[in-house]
Structure 1
């Protein structure tokens, strides 16, 4: 049971990390795009 919980947490954190990096990339790109447009 403990191993299952650990593996579930690991999978959850990996997915969360990937989603966070994906969102950060989108936000950074949008922010840089706005900066280059002079907004």
Structure 2
């Protein structure tokens, strides 16, 4: 039971990292584009 939960946590962690790395360029893009467009 605990082992299954640990596996779930590890996969969830990798999923969060994947989402973070996918979204980070968009966040950085909006941060850098907004001041230059004003």
* TM-score, normalisation: structure 1: 0.67
| Superposition CA RMSD, Å | 1.4
- Correspondences of 1:8-27 after superposition (within 5 Å): 8-27=8-27
Structure 1 unmatched ranges of 5 or more: none
Please state if 1:4 is matched with 2:4: yes
Count the aligned residue pairs: 38
Please state if 1:30 is matched with 2:30: yes
Structure 2 unmatched ranges of 5 or more: none
